Amino acid sequence: MLWMVKLAESLALPPGLFATLTLLLAVLLARHRRGFALALAAVSLAFAAACTPAVGDLLLAPLERAYAPPARPSGDAIVVLGAGFSAATPDFADPALDTGTLYGDSGERVLAAAALYLELHLPIVLSGGPLIRANGKSYAFALIAARDLAALGVPRRDMYVDPTSRTTEENAEHTALILRRLHRMHPILVASAAQMARAVMDFRRVELVVTPYPVGYTVSEVPTPLAYALLPSETGLDETAAALHEDLGILAARLHLHG
């Protein structure tokens, strides 16, 4: 019964709804435009498959397993790459001021940085924008993360912010400038597990030898039951899109395409 409810939800809500509608359209067109209907049905089924956790996990797992978290991380600095945030929203550090909130795995990156700092007492570089100015305030991942880390007990004097980076490539370039001023060249790199392979390549390009510290894993080692893993879902589409984004980024880095 539960699976039937999940199937109905999968087909009635986006993204499965789009596959359902295009497949129905293909059926309606089959009598008069057979070739077009077959092509439309193929596209519909391919899109539906791309939206399943089964396909998303298959594409994302190799990226997330490229680097394992080190048992004893070592380095001379902690670098945290930015992720999602919302501007002008309440946050636990100062909920009355609407100075922005981290979302996605951004919070886990900040918690990892705080834990590493408590263990190693290394300077933290927070790299991530984009820098948004509105209502007389500035918002960026790096600024919000610095505020949250301060609320968790990390001294402001040990944090360095780069709020203008828009890409992983810019993260690496801007961070390299900060670390060279600090005379530190072997940072512990905190980023999502899926992003880590591309991030390591970008940091290697600016001659920084990093210790990868991946967080924010999505693919579970405990497999989803196949009956559910084959249902189109927002989660499946997000995983597929994230994996393809990283694969394209890695390809661009290997072809030395920048920008």
DSSP bridge pairs for 160: 125
Q: Which residue has the higher pLDDT, 104 or 165?
A: 165
Measured in residues, the chain has a length of 259
Inform me whether the pLDDT recorded for 161 exceeds 90.
yes
129-138, 152-161, 181-190, 242-251: least confidently modelled range: 129-138
| Of residues 143, 121, 124, 145, the one with CA closest to residue 78 | 124
Termini Cα distance of the chain: 50
What tokens were used for 42? 């193929």
Residues 6+ apart with CB under 8 A from 20: 11, 12
pLDDT (0 to 100) of residue 12: 86
| Of residues 203, 197, 240, the one with CA closest to residue 218 | 240
What tokens were used for 61? 């797992």
pLDDT (0 to 100) of residue 103: 87
Inform me whether the pLDDT recorded for 259 exceeds 70.
no
The mean pLDDT value for 128-155 works out to: 90
Mean pLDDT of the chain: 92
What tokens were used for 11? 């087909």
pLDDT (0 to 100) of residue 202: 95
Distinct helix (H) and strand (E) counts, the chain: 10, 9
Round to whole Å and give the CA distance between 105 and 117. Answer: 19
pLDDT (0 to 100) of residue 127: 97
What tokens were used for 162? 């780069």
Q: What percent of the chain has pLDDT over 90?
A: 70
pLDDT in tens, 69-121: 999 999 999 999 998 988 888 887 777 677 788 988 899 999 999 999 999 99
